[in-house]
Amino acid sequence: MTQANPFRPALAKMLPYAPGEQPPPGSCVKLNTNENPYPPPPAVVEAIRTAAGGPINRYPDPMATSFRRAAAEALGMPGPEWILAGNGSDEILTILVRGFVGEGQRLRLPYPSYILYRTLADIQGASWEQTPFEDGWKLPAEFAKSDDGLRLVLLPNPNSPSGTIVSPNEVEKVSASLTCPLVVDEAYVDFAETNCLDLVKRNENVFVTRTLSKSYGLAGLRFGFLVAQPHIVAELTKIKDSYNCDAISIAAATAAMGCQEWLADIKTKMNTTRAVMQSRLSAMGFEVTPSHANFVWCRHPDGNHKAIYEFLKQNNILIRYMQFADWGDGLRISVGTDEQMESCLSTIERALQS
For residue 64, the one-letter residue type is: A
Q: List the one residue out of 93, 71, 95 whose CA is nearest residue 82.
A: 71
Q: Write out the binding residues for ligand PMP, residues 19-58 only, by CB under 6 A.
A: none
Q: Write out the binding residues for ligand PMP, residues 221-260 only, by CB under 6 A.
A: 224
Site string for ligand PMP, 154-183 (x = CB under 6 A): --x---x-----------------------
Q: Which are the contacts of 24, defined by CB distance < 8 A and separation ≥ 6?
A: none
Q: Which are the contacts of 132, defined by CB distance < 8 A and separation ≥ 6?
A: 110, 111, 140, 327
- What is the DSSP secondary structure assignment for residue 140, as one 8-state letter? P
Please select the residue that binds ligand PMP; options are 32, 36, 89, 249, rule is CB under 6 A: 89
The answer to the question of residue 211 lying near ligand PMP (CB under 6 A) is: yes
Closest approach of Cβ 187 to ligand PMP, in Å?
4
Q: Which residue lies nearer to ligand PMP by CB, 157 or 347?
A: 157
Please select the residue that binds ligand PMP; options are 88, 110, 181, 303, rule is CB under 6 A: 88
Closest approach of Cβ 143 to ligand PMP, in Å?
16
Residues forming a β-bridge with 295: 334
Helix (H, G, I), strand (E, B) or coil at 60: coil
**Piece of 67-75, 83-91, 198-206, 342-350 that binds ligand PMP (CB under 6 A):** 83-91
Q: Which residue lies nearer to ligand PMP by CB, 110 or 156?
A: 156
Closest approach of Cβ 227 to ligand PMP, in Å?
14
Chain mean position to CA 329: 20
Helix and strand counts by DSSP (H, E) for the chain: 11, 13
* Backbone torsion region of residue 64, taken as left when φ is above 0, otherwise alpha when ψ lies between -120 and 50, otherwise beta: left
For residue 274, the one-letter residue type is: R
Q: Which are the contacts of 264, defined by CB distance < 8 A and separation ≥ 6?
A: none
Question: Cα–Cα–Cα angle for 85, 87, 91, nearest 5°?
Answer: 90
Chain mean position to CA 305: 23
Q: Write out the binding residues for ligand PMP, residues 101-130 only, by CB under 6 A.
A: 114
Closest approach of Cβ 162 to ligand PMP, in Å?
11
Please select the residue that binds ligand PMP; options are 97, 187, 250, 251, rule is CB under 6 A: 187
In the chain, the N- to C-terminal Cα span, in Å, equals 59
**Piece of 57-65, 133-141, 211-219, 240-248 that binds ligand PMP (CB under 6 A):** 211-219
Q: Which residue lies nearer to ligand PMP by CB, 157 or 273?
A: 157
Q: Sheet harboring 224-227: ordered strands across?
A: 83-86, 224-227, 206-211, 182-185, 150-156, 106-111, 127-132
Closest approach of Cβ 3 to ligand PMP, in Å?
34
Please select the residue that binds ligand PMP; options are 90, 189, 289, 317, rule is CB under 6 A: 90
Contact 233, 72 (CB under 8 A): no
Q: Which residue lies nearer to ligand PMP by CB, 112 or 156?
A: 156
**Piece of 17-25, 85-93, 94-102, 197-205 that binds ligand PMP (CB under 6 A):** 85-93
Q: Residues in the site for ligand PMP, rule: CB under 6 A?
A: 88-90, 114, 156, 160, 185, 187, 211, 213, 219, 224
